[in-house]
Structure 1
Amino acid sequence: MTVLVPGIEGRSACTEERLLIVGLGLIGGSLAAALRSSGFNGQIVACDPNADEVALGKEMGLIDSGGTELAELLENVSMAVLAVPVLAMESVMKTLAGSLSAAAPNVVITDVGSTKATVRECAEAVFGCVPSNMVLGHPIAGSEKSGVSAANPSLYLNHKVILTPEPDVLLDALVRVKTLWQACGAEVLQMSVERHDQVLARTSHLPHLLAFSLVDTLARQDERLDIFRYAAGGFRDFTRIAGSDPVMWRDIFIANRDAVLSSLDDFEAGLARLRQAIECGDSDALIATFDRASHARHYFDTLLNKTSYQAEYHMQPHGKVTYRVRPGGQAQGRLRVPGDKSMSHRSIMLGALAEGVTEVKGFLEGEDSLATLQAFREMGVAIEGPHQGRVTIHGVGMHGLKPPAGPLYVGNSGTAMRLFAGLLAGQAFDSELTGDESLTKRPMGRVADPLRLMGVAIDTAEGGRPPLKIHGGAALKGIDYDMPMASAQVKSCLLLAGMYAEGETRVREPAPTRDHTERMLNGFGYPVSREGDTCWLQGGGKLTAGTIDVPSDISSATFFLVAAAITPGADITLEHVGINPTRIGVINILTLMGADLTLENEREVGGEPVADIRIRYAPLNGIDIPVEQVPLAIDEFPALFIAAANARGTTRLRGAEELRVKESDRIQAMADGLATLGVEHTVVEDGIDIIGNGNDQVPSYGGGRIDSLGDHRIAMAFAIAALRAGDDIIIEDCANVATSFPDFVALVQRIGMSINVGGDNV
């Protein structure tokens, strides 16, 4: 059969259809109800073996006409939707095949069956092949209710409809079926028949099978009345689907037998592991399974809903986030910012590979760090928490990680991806690292190239960008590597890979970079040596679990250091901040600019130096930033640009080309924002000149609308800028602040600033 009707696009297209719904139950009735609700002006005809259902459909205003004999209803029909049980599809198709050529030569056929291979087999048995004007489909929606009386016009609203068209399907037919479901408010997706049946067997068919089995098992117990009388909400939620149509589900389980049995095998294997863990009192195995499941539930919701993991985890607002920051305000108080992100990442990675249990305090519960936690859970590591900054990691040893079921998603974190590349290079299994849209634009050749020198088989996308595909099982050899750029991430990647390599791995850096990896490896009992600009380790060692107290992140503290430095009368103390010598560029630069900054209560915690930092307002002066300080403050420059805008004279930055390849091009993104505020500046390839307007009496610049480009540090920098602005600063696309600083807004308000958070119209 062929379709002769011209292609139609847009929602209005389906209003021209004369639609035949075969099977006026819940699915078919709800389709009619949804179309009527959407303003469908075409004709809806229904066929159902139950004449009472047809009569009720007409009485409810869902259909225009109908009957019980399909062949009698086909005249002038332009589309037929087969909403009958899967095992009844073949008989319906036989009727269509015998009648359509004369009655409706241009009809498009689609269906709603939940097992597409069986429906395809029916079409092949009847027509000899799947006709080019037949589009197989499946709406992912339903209810335990049945019949046309249960028709719900909102049943498909914001639900998915999966189409599984054959390769030779006519485009006109595909467009019209897609338009039909979009008119009902559904999101329409496409996949192959085989993939559909595998996915649905696990996500829909298996849960229904388990619900039927559980309710049936308990209903046959002697104490069944008490069981159901005292059942809690969780039992009712899970078993609700056991009230679904038994005949329909019998047909589904038979039709999709192979995929259902495969998913049942996987489930039974997992259940057997849980049973064994309970029998043996294996608390590590139980917590690994339960924590992995609990956090995966949150985590994958965020991927599907395109929200942040942090928003899901802490019930923060989803979707677009915009800040409106009022001009002026104070900068007073004593506060502790979240834990250091770099150390939070490393504590999880090394704790997972250690022997024993690692207790982490001060863990940053931000998006990037949570993604690292989830990745290790997917590789079989039992992790408790996080809860109020505390995480317990049950280490599996250097070779105890298990292959993940799919790609490891690290969100927006370049640190996680580059460090994972080194760590996974030494594993026996293949792995893939992927991230969000921003991360996929960042260069990964800088780690892939030296890893290849060590013997790692690693693939990247075009331009050396993510995803990274790492082929496990390689025999790694230590190398002597001179880094072409100063990068703590590259250095850390190679040291982690070096633990799995034969011989010695030496890394020489052109300028000092943060040394958290070296310090923490030594803290876990894995010796790392350093002399001058070179660090090295021997492969084949092991890690021993311990306790880690993560210092507050100096990158997060920087926004409040700058807030106090630019605001007359300000006085802020930041507690327990990490002052690692490779991270204090921001302290050195602010001091050179004239900031009144002192370190108090200096001490060492877990091998890392920490202190309380007190900063009070003092007029700042523009400076030429020393080149050797640039790598020590690379993440802090967005905030330092705001300090420069409030200084007297010109601040010049050079040698900072690394800023071009962060979450955004931070040099250009900050320059664009400064231009909006009216701050004079000149951009060069590796830096910027900023002409400050330091004046205690008047605002340093105006306000305006800033696009943060989804870069958390750009967003936070311009929020702090409002302290010296002449008008509101509105900052768009701020959701990613959760990646590094989930409590930023609360702390900004705590020091005396006025900031409102909302959607586009805040």
Structure 2
Amino acid sequence: MTELNKVVIVGLGLIGGSLAAGLRAAGVCKKIIGVARREETCSQAMSMGIVDQATTDLASIAGELGKGDIIFISVPTLTVGGIVRAIKNSVNGDVIVTDGASVKGSVRKDVKDIYGYFPPNFVLGHPIAGSEQSGVEASNPDLYIGHRVILTPVEENAPAAVAAVRSMWEWVGAEVLEMDVDDHDNVLAATSHLPHVIAFSLVDTLAHDSQNENIFRYAAGGFRDFTRIASSDAIMWRDIMLANKDSVIDAIDLFASNLSRLRAFIDQENATEITGVFTRAKFARDRFTKMLEHRAYSKSMQNSEEKNVVYTVAPGGSVKGKIRVPGDKSISHRSIMLGSLAEGVTHIEGFLEGEDALATLQAFRDMGVVIEGPNKGKVTVHGVGLNGLQAPTGPLYVGNSGTSMRLLSGILAGQTFSSELTGDISLSKRPMNRVANPLREMGAVIDTAEEGRPPMKIHGASKLKAIEYDMPMASAQVKSCLLLAGLYADGASSVTEPAPTRDHTERMLRGFGYSVQREGNKVTVASGGKLTATDIDIPADISSATFFMVAAAICPGSDITLTHVGVNPTRIGVINILTLMGANVELENKREVGGEPVADIRVQYAPLKGIQIPEEQVPLAIDEFPAILIAAACADGKTVLTGAEELRVKETDRIQAMADGLTSLGIDCETKPDGIVVNGGKMTGGSVESFHDHRIAMSFTIAALRASGEIRVNNCANVATSFPNFVELAKKVGISLEVNCS
């Protein structure tokens, strides 16, 4: 951050005075000058020591200002224009000017009207901070620490001016973000201005309720907290409403419409719809709380990088015990999707409460489905039928979940409304043409970014026709996408896979009463049927169990049992491969739950040997290969993996990521276009990069059991996407793991 020369603060109320106090405390300004309307305010600011000089006449100090100095305008929105006019008439154009008004469109218009153009050194801004107190006496040097300041640069702005204003706010501890002017005013209308409208109106309404004089006397704490903002400066908020009139009216109209709908639901005693409103609100509020903790108000405001979550794992040890890993992620996704499209109420147990599956759940909530939970793995889905989804009000954000995006695209292709699927930085780099192109062959109109990457914009009202699709590469996600689209297509759609892939979609469609035909590697569904709600008990995820299976297989003295694990024949490639390598794996207590085979898996240590992995096993273990490659590194001899091109287009290029990490730990590897050769050996300690891929992160965590030194795994935050309690279970069975953020 660059140190500052002179800063002039016009308006020494809470906002301006706190900036002065914060800059004074930071000791980064050669001179702080205050400008106020009243002499008393100037005198008080001087006596408090927050300014070096104070005046009621901006023009009187204009001659002192030059290049690099900053003027901060901290006055009510509708009075900014008068200050801007005074600055134009008296201040050198090299001086940087910024403001703190809460409506940026109004200030932008004032500046253009007064100057006749937009000066490059005028940077619009808005500090999101405040207090119930006001006036210079409320100045607080810590007011901005940990709070956000939104800058709304315009095209004409000089980058150096924006950087200087950013630096000023960072010196007082603020998190500085950037937004478009119009986006800012729309967002603030909804998140700040509308709540003030509601609070002022509610208190005004109840204050004049002559029928109940005890309303305020016996009001609970929630009423007090909600209406606190009605104690704000009435004149200031009047001006904000007028300055941001159009956006505020739009927000009021939307709220009034939704309030009217809720009134109708209550009048009709429609318990399901009331539950839907309250449930959506609860989880939206919970999500908002997380956003406040980790990221900004909207995607356009997010920082480009999250904090680096680091796993530090001590070498050696063994794993022992009996644990149950979270529910199967693939089945969790599909239970929400098909439950939402079914007629009736579906009860789910064992739902995986990880970020990926929750992204799918939220997408269907955003399309009008009433979903209760999750609560300790229990979810209730009030299905709307195949044609009952509603148009979302904005893009459907699925975070890091490729499964959500690919499978949802098949469902959305058959809807009458248009939609957009977006994801996080990692997902936005992953190819989607593998589903987009065959969907286009079915008649869907889909736009993607360059090279078929997200976002995916799916145009509604496209009449889908049936398809007979030969998949060039085995992929359960592509197969499932096309089968789901086939529910809406005209006729019977078939998908032929070059090798068997997980069949959860077919099994679950049958469980919901929908006919699915299979002939060899060809799967067919016809449109015209319906899904009937059912109850689902989701088994533990074999992909999550894999990390502990491999941990026990590589580490002498280990003996672990993983309970209630799904052992679908299309998912047990990892068991087959580890067995071929010599692992001691037993399936106990075999049974069937909800159409899915389940067992307890016991793994005891046994020496492993390198093998040529059979290509027919590759699709059955595609997600488990990062962990399997750790087993290969600990085996005696060479392990060869081929036919695994799909690993290069997962959350990251998993072949290269594993090769890089293993090489850094002293293991000899050779990558191929479709696989990798791993020569077993002795692993050293070291630092490895997960590339924000949860499976890479967890795989190198268990590698430390056989390493000679500590392993540090970088960028592990995404482990929460598939395995939220991984760290807890790892420690429970004996892995010495510490988590830090940097």
TM-score interval for Structure 1 and Structure 2 normalised by the shorter chain? over 0.9
Q: Which amino acid aligns with 2:692?
A: G
Q: Is the 8 A contact 2:432 2:453 kept in 1?
A: yes
Structure 1 position 290 matched with structure 2 position 278: yes
Deviation for aligned residue 1:229: 5.1
Deviation for aligned residue 1:513: 0.5
Deviation for aligned residue 1:511: 0.5
3-state DSSP class of the match of 1:16? strand
Deviation for aligned residue 1:726: 2.2
| Residues in 1 aligned to 2:649 and 2:63: alpha-carbon distance in whole angstroms | 63
Structure 1 position 234 matched with structure 2 position 225: no
| Residues in 1 aligned to 2:619 and 2:677: alpha-carbon distance in whole angstroms | 18
Q: Deviations over 1:303-358 (max 9, x none)?
A: 5655699xxxxxxxx94322222222232222211111000000000111111111
| Residues in 2 aligned to 1:580 and 1:395: alpha-carbon distance in whole angstroms | 26
Aligned counterpart in structure 2 of residue 80 of structure 1, from 71, 76, 81: 71
| Residues in 2 aligned to 1:668 and 1:302: alpha-carbon distance in whole angstroms | 33
Structure 1 position 63 matched with structure 2 position 51: yes
Q: Which amino acid aligns with 1:612?
A: D
Aligned counterpart in structure 1 of residue 173 of structure 2, from 181, 185, 201: 185
Q: Is the 8 A contact 2:369 2:383 kept in 1?
A: yes
Mean Cα displacement is larger for which, 519-528 or 667-676? 667-676
Aligned counterpart in structure 2 of residue 641 of structure 1, from 629, 634, 639: 629
Aligned counterpart in structure 2 of residue 276 of structure 1, from 264, 271, 279: 264
Mean Cα displacement is larger for which, 340-349 or 606-615? 606-615
**2:302 counterpart residue number:** none
**1:437 counterpart residue number:** 425
Q: Which amino acid aligns with 1:628?
A: E
Q: Is the 8 A contact 1:11 1:182 kept in 2?
A: no
3-state DSSP class of the match of 1:272? helix
| Residues in 2 aligned to 1:36 and 1:468: alpha-carbon distance in whole angstroms | 49
3-state DSSP class of the match of 1:655? coil
Structure 1 position 759 matched with structure 2 position 741: yes
Q: Is the 8 A contact 2:668 2:678 kept in 1?
A: yes
After superposition, the Cα gap between the structure-2 partners of 1:745 and 1:276, relative to the gap in structure 1 and judged at 3 Å, is: same
Please report the RMSD computed on the Cα atoms of aligned residues, expressed in angstroms: 2.3
TM alignment of 1:282-681, pairs within 5 A? 282-302=270-290, 306=294, 319-681=307-669
Q: Deviations over 1:439-460 (max 9, x none)?
A: 1221111111100000000111
Mean Cα displacement is larger for which, 676-685 or 574-583? 676-685
TM alignment of 1:195-214, pairs within 5 A? 195-214=183-202
After superposition, the Cα gap between the structure-2 partners of 1:50 and 1:521, relative to the gap in structure 1 and judged at 3 Å, is: same
| Residues in 1 aligned to 2:163 and 2:736: alpha-carbon distance in whole angstroms | 50
After superposition, the Cα gap between the structure-2 partners of 1:165 and 1:337, relative to the gap in structure 1 and judged at 3 Å, is: closer
| Residues in 1 aligned to 2:573 and 2:153: alpha-carbon distance in whole angstroms | 58
| Residues in 2 aligned to 1:189 and 1:54: alpha-carbon distance in whole angstroms | 31
| Residues in 2 aligned to 1:193 and 1:714: alpha-carbon distance in whole angstroms | 40
Structure 1 position 263 matched with structure 2 position 251: yes
| Residues in 2 aligned to 1:430 and 1:249: alpha-carbon distance in whole angstroms | 37
| Residues in 1 aligned to 2:487 and 2:640: alpha-carbon distance in whole angstroms | 41
| Residues in 2 aligned to 1:308 and 1:336: alpha-carbon distance in whole angstroms | 35
Q: Is the 8 A contact 1:307 1:319 kept in 2?
A: no
Deviation for aligned residue 1:496: 0.5
TM alignment of 1:86-101, pairs within 5 A? 86-97=77-88, 99-100=89-90
- Structure 2 unaligned segments of length 5 or more: list them: 298-305
After superposition, the Cα gap between the structure-2 partners of 1:308 and 1:110, relative to the gap in structure 1 and judged at 3 Å, is: closer
Q: Which amino acid aligns with 1:475?
A: K
Structure 1 position 747 matched with structure 2 position 729: yes
Deviation for aligned residue 1:35: 1.7
| Residues in 2 aligned to 1:308 and 1:646: alpha-carbon distance in whole angstroms | 43
3-state DSSP class of the match of 2:734? coil
TM-score (norm 2): 0.94
Q: Which amino acid aligns with 1:337?
A: V
After superposition, the Cα gap between the structure-2 partners of 1:23 and 1:523, relative to the gap in structure 1 and judged at 3 Å, is: same
**1:684 counterpart residue number:** 672
Deviation for aligned residue 1:730: 2.0
After superposition, the Cα gap between the structure-2 partners of 1:392 and 1:22, relative to the gap in structure 1 and judged at 3 Å, is: same
Deviation for aligned residue 1:217: 3.1
Deviation for aligned residue 1:16: 1.7
Q: Is the 8 A contact 1:308 1:736 kept in 2?
A: no
Deviation for aligned residue 1:652: 1.6
TM alignment of 1:113-124, pairs within 5 A? 113-124=101-112
| Residues in 1 aligned to 2:603 and 2:160: alpha-carbon distance in whole angstroms | 68
Structure 1 position 717 matched with structure 2 position 717: no
Aligned counterpart in structure 2 of residue 42 of structure 1, from 30, 38, 61: 30
**1:11 counterpart residue number:** 2
Q: Which amino acid aligns with 1:86?
A: T
Deviation for aligned residue 1:425: 0.3
Mean Cα displacement is larger for which, 731-740 or 490-499? 731-740
After superposition, the Cα gap between the structure-2 partners of 1:84 and 1:514, relative to the gap in structure 1 and judged at 3 Å, is: same
After superposition, the Cα gap between the structure-2 partners of 1:566 and 1:212, relative to the gap in structure 1 and judged at 3 Å, is: same
TM-score (norm 1): 0.91
| Residues in 2 aligned to 1:306 and 1:425: alpha-carbon distance in whole angstroms | 33
After superposition, the Cα gap between the structure-2 partners of 1:169 and 1:707, relative to the gap in structure 1 and judged at 3 Å, is: closer
Aligned counterpart in structure 2 of residue 24 of structure 1, from 9, 12, 28: 12
**1:3 counterpart residue number:** none
Q: Deviations over 1:414-444 (max 9, x none)?
A: 1111101101000111111111121122111
Q: Deviations over 1:552-586 (max 9, x none)?
A: 11111111222222233332222111111111111
Mean Cα displacement is larger for which, 393-402 or 108-117? 108-117
Deviation for aligned residue 1:242: 1.9
After superposition, the Cα gap between the structure-2 partners of 1:736 and 1:90, relative to the gap in structure 1 and judged at 3 Å, is: closer
Q: Deviations over 1:36-66 (max 9, x none)?
A: 1222333333232222111100101122222
Deviation for aligned residue 1:157: 2.8
| Residues in 2 aligned to 1:725 and 1:503: alpha-carbon distance in whole angstroms | 56
Q: Is the 8 A contact 2:309 2:715 kept in 1?
A: yes
Q: Is the 8 A contact 1:656 1:686 kept in 2?
A: yes
Mean Cα displacement is larger for which, 567-576 or 168-177? 168-177
**2:710 counterpart residue number:** 728
After superposition, the Cα gap between the structure-2 partners of 1:243 and 1:701, relative to the gap in structure 1 and judged at 3 Å, is: same
**1:51 counterpart residue number:** 39
Q: Which amino acid aligns with 2:15?
A: I
3-state DSSP class of the match of 1:599? strand
Mean Cα displacement is larger for which, 120-129 or 700-709? 120-129
3-state DSSP class of the match of 1:75? helix
After superposition, the Cα gap between the structure-2 partners of 1:64 and 1:667, relative to the gap in structure 1 and judged at 3 Å, is: same
Deviation for aligned residue 1:686: 1.8
After superposition, the Cα gap between the structure-2 partners of 1:121 and 1:324, relative to the gap in structure 1 and judged at 3 Å, is: closer
Q: Is the 8 A contact 1:76 1:104 kept in 2?
A: no
Q: Deviations over 1:363-383 (max 9, x none)?
A: 111110011111111111111
Q: Which amino acid aligns with 1:734?
A: C
| Residues in 1 aligned to 2:322 and 2:696: alpha-carbon distance in whole angstroms | 24
Deviation for aligned residue 1:518: 0.5
After superposition, the Cα gap between the structure-2 partners of 1:164 and 1:738, relative to the gap in structure 1 and judged at 3 Å, is: closer
After superposition, the Cα gap between the structure-2 partners of 1:630 and 1:118, relative to the gap in structure 1 and judged at 3 Å, is: closer
Deviation for aligned residue 1:86: 2.4
Deviation for aligned residue 1:291: 1.8
Aligned residues: 731
Q: Deviations over 1:370-417 (max 9, x none)?
A: 111111111111111111111111111111111112111111111111
3-state DSSP class of the match of 2:576? helix
